Structure 1
Amino acid sequence: MRMTWADFWTLMDTLDGEAGEVSCRRLTEKLGRRPVADIIGFAERHAEALYRLDQEKFGSLPVADLTDRDGSPFPQSADHFLYTRCAVVAAGRAVWEDVFFDVDRFAPFTSTRYDGEWLLYVPDQAYELATGREWDRSTRYCFETFSNKDGWPHLQS
């Protein structure tokens, strides 16, 4: 059975809106009790959700609560932007969908208060929990920053 978006978002609700260590461990344990096909499906949906957010309009936003020494906006690094996208996904389906229509809804997640990095490890840890083996995986969508060429039109050659 293929994981639907509805199934994915139901699992994401386990996080209660934030991708901290404790909530991601709870999600890992829940996902790790499911069939391997569900873990793979979750990884695919997660990668796609991050990929879709990989857009210049979000990545060019400055970090909400940081400035350079001269007071100018502090840009997001590629890693910070990835973790910010994870935080948006962790916030749930409604937030994830809303940011596409209103970039101002994305901006608060650039704050250093939000860090969704733990969410990146959930599929791999769930797979290891379910199988006892490490997962050397790839997904259809690459979620690394700048992977979505359509989202960064000025980078296209």
Structure 2
Amino acid sequence: MTWAEFWALIATLGGEATEADCHRLAKRLSRRSLPDITAFAEHHAEALYRLDQEQFGSLPVVGMTTETGAPFPQSGDSFLYARCAVVAAGREAWESALSDPAESAQYTSLDYDGERLLYIPDEVYELATGKEWHRTTRYCYESFSNKDGWPHLRT
């Protein structure tokens, strides 16, 4: 599967990772070959990993403040879900976030919930094979795993 094919599949979400849209994508992808399903999972993980950068992760949650009125920081989970929302928004949004993370601040809002996107590879595998997928991908998409994106975290 090429990146173009990956982004064409993501485009079927219509810009958001809703339950219905993600399930529709999973059903469509489950009819493809196992190598395509695996390649989708690899592209999915890499797309999230590449967004795992301090410039994006240090943006505050849009519309929230602390008790003192300071900007509310993203948690590790909310940062992961914001990255999922960017990927679900499509290739253009993803490329924009990579070139200027501040342009994607809107995805830190609680109005965007990309969490459902995380489960697509597992759902697809189970639909295609009837088995649970105990998989690993080349890239870890968990927050703060991209050491190049978080230079001060390098040890």
Gaps of 5+ in 2: none
Partner SS, residue 52 of structure 1: helix
User: Which stretches of structure 1, 4 residues or more, deviate above 6 A after TM superposition?
Assistant: none
- CA–CA distance in structure 1, aligned partners of residues 64 and 144 of structure 2: 22
Question: Is the contact between residue 59 and residue 102 of structure 2 (CA under 8 Å) also seen in structure 1?
Answer: no
Question: % of aligned pairs identical?
Answer: 65
| CA-to-aligned-CA distance 1:56-80 (integer Å, 9 cap, x gap) | 0000000011111111100000000
**Greater alpha carbon shift after TM alignment, 101-110 vs 81-90:** 101-110
Residue 94 of structure 2: aligned partner: 96
Residue 76 of structure 2: aligned partner: 78
- CA–CA distance in structure 1, aligned partners of residues 86 and 8 of structure 2: 15
Amino acid at match of 2:29: L
Per-residue deviation, 1:20: 1.2
Question: Is the contact between residue 54 and residue 150 of structure 2 (CA under 8 Å) also seen in structure 1?
Answer: yes
| CA-to-aligned-CA distance 1:110-157 (integer Å, 9 cap, x gap) | 000001010000010000000000000000000000110000001112
Residue 10 of structure 1: aligned partner: 8
- CA–CA distance in structure 2, aligned partners of residues 20 and 106 of structure 1: 19
Amino acid at match of 1:131: T
Q: 1:105 aligns with which of 103, 108, 125?
A: 103
Q: 1:27 aligns with which of 25, 28, 34?
A: 25
* Count of residues paired in the alignment: 155
| CA-to-aligned-CA distance 1:84-134 (integer Å, 9 cap, x gap) | 000000000011001122222210000000010100000100000000000
Gaps of 5+ in 1: none
1:64 aligns with 2:62: yes
Question: Is the contact between residue 42 and residue 138 of structure 2 (CA under 8 Å) also seen in structure 1?
Answer: yes
